[in-house]
Amino acid sequence: MIEADDFARRFTMRAANLTWLLGAGCSASAGIPTASDMIWEFKQQLYVSQRRVSLKSVSDLSNPVVREQLQSYFDASGRFPVSETPDEYATFFEAAWPNERDRRAYLDAKLTGAKPSYGHYALATLMSGGMTKLVWTTNFDTLTADACAKVYDSTAPLTIVALDAPDLAAEVINAQRWPIEIKLHGDFRSRRLKNTGDELRQQDARLRQVLVDCCRRWGLVVAGYSGRDDSVMDALTEVLRQPNSFPAGLFWLHRGDGPPLPRVQAFLRLAAESGVDGGVVSIENFDEIMRDLVRLIACLNTFALDSFGLQRQRWSAAARVSGTKGFPVVRLNALPVTAAPTVCRRVVCKIGGHVETMEAVKRAGVNVLIGRKRVGVLAFGSDADVRAAFGPFEITEFDLYPIEARRLRYDSAERGMLRQAMSHALVREHGLTLTHRRSADLLAPAHPDAPEWAPLKKIVGALSGSVAGHPELKWREGIGTRLDWADDRLWLLIETRTVFEGITDDNRLAATDFGRERTVKRYNRQLNELISFWAQKLAKNGEDLRALGVDNGVDAVFRLNADTAFSWRIRA
């Protein structure tokens, strides 16, 4: 494993002799989903259409329970590849949208409106400084070209070669018409768009040969690429069969706690055995590593990068609301999470996926919150309870796992685990009941008649009861909660809800009508009072909110701020 700072120093000495291979991960910060993100969306679409269930039932793809539910369905079918295998993306894409025009429309929708991130502008800046000459990409987007147009103030300097012109690729490289971008899969406007299993395996042999030849002349930096395409990985492996391959080194930039895909690991082992310098480089993300590279190269003209930073600052924090007069603001239903767990327990043992870990906790009868990743079982709870649950599965490692902030920016297993822990903390501290839903956790007073709920009753009236004509259908005033990331921080989103018990197919329509009638006339003043009540209640004056209340293990401890987010006048 090579540290990011070590790679940055090596890059400054070898930049002119290194080419780049970019994958979907480089476009994630620009708002384009990665292959992994799309795979889960494909599974979601297939599951909903084939099972004929509501999309809401599997809407939260960050929830490990939802992912386990989807994966179990496809594993049981026996018609799809197992999770995280190279052909998973292509197989599920083709299954979800068999028609090429539909796939084209899907990709077009994902790419619409995307703008280059800092990393793309940094790459274009390296191109303009002669530090990067050739970029290969499996992406369909135009982000590199858009960034070059900004940096060069023209679209002319960058030569782009699509999949349908392999001979042109060799020609422009031999003519040294730098900089050059070569699209291994075409782009989303190409008539020869390739993104299904058969098509990927039939990748144009001449273009692959150009890639092989270039990797014998220069080194390679791989960024944001998972290694799912056999055609590309076959070409890179073929390079290693030649003498003096990757003469300036081979650096595979990788983010995440787990290792790269097995095919990539095997390729890198073969490279090391062949005497190729380099290996896996652990990075935070594409933007951060590009920032590190640009920082070390003093001769670059970073005007475009500096102006990019100014242009992206389109908002500023609103001043704190004070007094009763002044320009009106829009109050949001988001409470800042001022403190959240930074570590949890990690257990490596011989156990299966999420379902098996949940069953182990239930069987042991212990109060443990768990998540499942390739690195092991993640857990909050007393050490004794955790060992009681997983001891029968031959524990080989029992240590701490860091919950990094960068993993809370998207629908990750870590964020799903924190959502679960937050709900348990609120239930424990405030006398609430918890009902899990796919898109939100529903919380309601366990004892609505208790004096502490009198202020809420004053705002909305009765807090519980039965739906007229359906005595079995009970309801309580409550909220739905979920965690989200914005403004570079974690937020608890709250939404006033009517929480039902005893819903069946026969009374579901009655519940829907009752809930709508109960809330339809709640206007701004009443909604503002409701948000204020719940914000003050849940935040508990900024005190610690403990999910489990244990001291001899790892507890999940949160703190909330009752000052909800709000917007101010937009600034030009």
Kindly report the three-state secondary structure assignment for every residue of 71-95: HHHHHHHCCCCCCCCCCHHHHHHHH
> 531-559: per-residue pLDDT in tens?
999 999 999 999 999 999 998 999 999 99
Q: Which of 223, 283, 292, 281 is nearest to 27 (CA)?
A: 223
Is residue 304 scored above 70 in pLDDT? no
140 with 273, same domain? yes
Please state, in angstroms and as integers, the Cα–Cα distance from residue 309 to each residue in 314, 454, 463, 516, following that order.
10, 50, 50, 45
Is residue 317 scored above 80 in pLDDT? no
> 38-49: per-residue pLDDT in tens?
899 999 999 999
User: Would you place residue 472 in the very low, low, confident or very high pLDDT band (cuts 50, 70, 90)?
Assistant: very high
272 with 411, same domain? no
Q: Which of 111, 126, 150 is the last residue of a domain?
A: 111
User: Would you place residue 310 in the very low, low, confident or very high pLDDT band (cuts 50, 70, 90)?
Assistant: very low
CB atoms within 10 A of CB 10: 19
* 348 vs 549: CA distance, rounded Å: 24
Q: Hey, what are 139's tokens?
A: 């992406």
Checking DSSP bridges between strand 219-223 and strand 278-282, what pairing results, if any?
A: unpaired
Q: What is the pLDDT of residue 319?
A: 56
DSSP assignment of 541-567: GG--EESS--SSEE--EEEE-SS--EE
Q: Hey, what are 29's tokens?
A: 């910060």
Task: Assess if residue 300 is contained within a domain.
Answer: yes
Structural domains of the chain, count: 3
105 with 121, same domain? no
Nearest-5° Cα angle at 514, 508 to 520: 130
Q: Which of 78, 111, 144 is the last residue of a domain?
A: 111
Task: Assess if residue 323 is contained within a domain.
Answer: no
> What whole-number percentage of the chain has pLDDT above 90?
52
> 326-361: per-residue pLDDT in tens?
555 677 889 999 999 999 999 999 998 888 999 999
Q: What is the pLDDT of residue 193?
A: 45
Judge contact between 379 and 368, C-beta under 8 A.
yes
User: Would you place residue 323 in the very low, low, confident or very high pLDDT band (cuts 50, 70, 90)?
Assistant: low
553 with 416, same domain? yes
User: Would you place residue 499 in the very low, low, confident or very high pLDDT band (cuts 50, 70, 90)?
Assistant: very high
Q: Which of 67, 87, 111 is the last residue of a domain?
A: 111
Judge contact between 550 and 381, C-beta under 8 A.
yes
40 with 179, same domain? no
Q: What is the mean pLDDT of residues 182-207?
A: 57
> 442-451: per-residue pLDDT in tens?
999 999 999 9
Q: What is the pLDDT of residue 322?
A: 56
> 163-177: per-residue pLDDT in tens?
767 788 889 999 999
Is residue 568 scored above 60 in pLDDT? no
Element (H, E) at 145: helix 143-152
Is residue 413 scored above 70 in pLDDT? yes
DSSP assignment of 205-266: HHHHHHHHHHHHHSEEEEES-----HHHHHHHHHHTTSTT-STT-EEEEE-SSS---HHHHH
> 56-79: per-residue pLDDT in tens?
888 888 777 788 889 999 998 888
User: Would you place residue 191 in the very low, low, confident or very high pLDDT band (cuts 50, 70, 90)?
Assistant: very low
Lowest mean pLDDT segment, chosen from 46-60, 97-111, 415-429, 448-462: 97-111
Structural domain harbouring 504: 334-566
221 with 203, same domain? yes
Q: What is the pLDDT of residue 210?
A: 92
Length of the chain: 572
What values do phi and psi take at 444, rounded to 5? -150, 155
Is residue 50 scored above 60 in pLDDT? yes
190 with 44, same domain? no
* 83 vs 89: CA distance, rounded Å: 10
Task: Assess if residue 401 is contained within a domain.
Answer: yes
341 with 402, same domain? yes
Q: What is the pLDDT of residue 190?
A: 41
Which has more confidence, 35 or 462? 462
Q: What is the mean pLDDT of residues 312-334?
A: 59
Which has more confidence, 307 or 81? 81
The whole-chain average pLDDT of the chain stands at 86
User: Would you place residue 189 in the very low, low, confident or very high pLDDT band (cuts 50, 70, 90)?
Assistant: very low
Q: What is the mean pLDDT of residues 234-250?
A: 93
363 with 503, same domain? yes
> 254-265: per-residue pLDDT in tens?
986 668 888 999
Which has more confidence, 201 or 378? 378
DSSP class of 446: S
User: Would you place residue 366 in the very low, low, confident or very high pLDDT band (cuts 50, 70, 90)?
Assistant: very high
Q: C-alpha 236: how far from its chain's center?
A: 28
Is residue 186 scored above 70 in pLDDT? no
User: Would you place residue 373 in the very low, low, confident or very high pLDDT band (cuts 50, 70, 90)?
Assistant: confident
What values do phi and psi take at 328, rounded to 5? -70, 150
